[in-house]
Amino acid sequence: MFDGIQRRVVSMWFPRLSSDRDLRMCPIDGPFVLTFKQSNANRIYCLNAEAERQGLHRGMAYSDARAFCPDLQSRPADPIGDERFLNVLRRWATRYCPWVGLEGADGLVLDITGAAHLFGGEAMMVTDMRQRLSKAGFSVQIGFADTRGAAWGLAHYGEGLAETGRTLDALGPLPVMALRLEDKTVTALQRMGLRTISDLAGSARAPLTRRFGPGLMMRLDQALGRQPEQITPLADPPHYGVRITLPDPIGLHDDVMAGTSRLLDSLCAKLKTREAGARILCLTLRRVDQEAQVVELRLARPLRDPQRILPLFERGVADVDAGFGIDQMRLEATQVLPLPAQQISSVTSSRKDQLEDLISRLGTRIGLENIQRVLPADSHIPERSFLIAPAAYSEPEGPWVALRPRPLSLFPPEPIAGVGAQPPKQFRWRRMALSTARATGPERITPEWWLEDDNWRSGVRDYWHVETRQGRRLWLYYTPQNPGWFAQGEFA
């Protein structure tokens, strides 16, 4: 009983959730399966009704399935996508009641106590569920009973509706596996002649408890309502959005910034309670003519400090066309990342925060992706000894390790005239006549044989640091296998 009202539970089982979801996006006629790799062999993960009629089943080797059904079509399974979609179905099911939970990887459980009359009764509610899911392309089996265990058993082994207070009458003819028992327990019960739930319910409890433990009788009592079994709905993800409705329209820049400041205080308080920081903020300004102006702010790092965020909105708000006035403001953090609390000390420097704020300011003008930093890479090849990454999405690395000096400017190899393994006394580079004053080297660099690189097919390179009488300090190299001289860099 639930506060004097008989509890009612609905169990929805989607026997072909994965294949139905895939075929809904890209329909295919004929037998179809989703496959997954297990022990170096492709096996059937899920299949449609026509493939089942051909004699195929889950876990079957895909090669054997093709032998039974030559026209079989397949795609790789996506369990992660199925999990996300089941959560979408869970949110959809809240149209019937607020208490909706997941039942394994392919089912839902709903506590519809006191809600069936809103749909014209239990039978009309089940009909509405079937019609909507069928129209969306999903096959479903529905069980309706007083308990969660009974609803699950009816959905999987005897689809139907159990009348209030007559749970055992509905479950009695079902096999014992409808009680959510382990396979080895089901096999042992069948060997004892206990094949149905009515057989099990009429047997002595003590000998069965001694042999199988308390779990067997607990499942039976849960199905019959003798022991409670809760339905825990999944909590909706936190929503980081605040808004304010203004009694009189505003249009001045200072007024909009003052409203934004109030919204930031409320939003940052929400972020602080969950130890999170906003990475992307969206400020929506609704005008009295129902048009909306949107100001998006992308931050270099997750933030929840309103004093640091507010000045970054200055430029975007200045470009807003208020029209005849703004009567509603809404601020939402569209991308949120974890930002745990940090220990504050008197020696903490604010230089890092200032740099991040500068990157955010520049990013609002030219885009965060266009502000880049150079990071060291683990390679002795000059072209591969560094990486270029967006500064907003990377962290600075430690000191660069260079056993030999490297030029400040590095460019693709440019051929120069020269003969022999020693640097040429005189040569021309970029239409300039140069003469060698001092040469330091050679430094031999071999190609990375495990990587394909057309620029290094000429083999090893002997690099020289050449100082010219004209003041140029160049990085030249010589290729012994295919004799030739090239310039690849220039020192400061």
Confidence check: pLDDT of 3 > 50: no
pTM surpassing 0.85? no
| The pLDDT value given to residue 415 | 93
Q: Is the dihedral of CA 63, 67, 73, 78 positive or negative?
A: negative
pLDDT at 347 over 60: no
Residue 415 contacts residue 455 (beta carbons within 8 Å): no
Residue 311: how many other CB atoms lie within 10 Å: 12
Lowest mean pLDDT among 75-79, 356-360, 477-481: 356-360
What is the pLDDT at residue 345? 63
What value does the mean pLDDT take over residues 235-258?
91
Q: What is the pLDDT of residue 430?
A: 93
- Strand-pairing partners, residue 440, are 465
Give the total residue count for the chain: 492
Q: What is the pLDDT of residue 394?
A: 84
Please check the confidence at residue 369 and state whether its pLDDT lies above 90: no
The predicted pLDDT at position 348 comes to: 53
Does pLDDT of 462 surpass 70? Answer: yes
Q: Please give the Cα distance from 271 to 265 (Å, whole number).
A: 10
C-beta neighbour count of 43 within 10 angstroms:
19
C-beta separation of 256 from 320 below 8 A: yes
Is residue 49 within 8 A of residue 72, CB to CB? The reply is no
Q: Place 2 in a pLDDT band, splitting at 50, 70 and 90.
A: very low
Report which of 177, 186, 185 is spatially closest to residue 156, judged by C-alpha positions: 177
pLDDT at position 1 is 41
Section 384-393 average pLDDT: 86
Q: Indicate whether 487 pLDDT > 60.
A: yes
Out of 56-60, 314-318, 402-406, least confident range = 402-406
Contacts of 292 (CB under 8 A, 6+ apart): 284, 285, 286
CA gap 281, 298 in Å, rounded: 7
Bridge partners of 389? 373
Average pLDDT score over residue span 50-57: 91
Average pLDDT, the chain: 89
Top-confidence residue, 441 or 4: 441
Measuring CA to CA, which residue among 212, 218, 222, 213 is closest to residue 192? 212
pLDDT at 222 over 60: yes
Give residue 335's pLDDT. Answer: 94
Q: pLDDT confidence of 396, banded at 50, 70, 90?
A: confident
pLDDT tens by residue, 140-155: 999 999 999 999 999 9
Cα–Cα distance measured from residue 438 to residue 417, given in angstroms and rounded to the nearest whole number: 18
pLDDT of residue 352 exceeding 70, the answer is: no
Among candidate residues 481, 448, 449, the one with its CA nearest the CA of residue 462: 481
Place of tokens 């808004």: 243
> Over pLDDT 70: what percentage of the chain?
97
35 with 43: CB under 8 angstroms?
yes
pLDDT of residue 350: 56
- pLDDT value at residue 260: 96
In the numeric block, which tokens belong to residue 207?
Answer: 């000998």
Minimum mean pLDDT among 287-291, 304-308, 333-337, 386-390: which range?
A: 386-390
Q: What confidence score (pLDDT) does residue 41 get?
A: 86
Is a pLDDT exceeding 50 seen at residue 180?
Answer: yes
pLDDT beyond 70 at 78: yes
- Specify the higher pLDDT residue, 238 or 325: 325
| 418 vs 11: which has the higher pLDDT | 11
d(CA 122, CA 160): 11
Confidence band of 253 (pLDDT split at 50, 70, 90): very high
For 81-123, the pLDDT digits (tens) are 999 999 999 999 999 998 899 998 899 999 999 888 889 998 9
Q: What is the pLDDT of residues 188-221, one digit of tens each?
A: 999 999 999 999 999 999 999 999 999 999 999 9
| Per-residue pLDDT at 225 exceeds 70 | yes
User: Residue 196 pairs with which residues in a beta bridge?
Assistant: 175
Q: Of 327, 189, 194, 184, which is closest to residue 249 (Cα–Cα)? A: 327
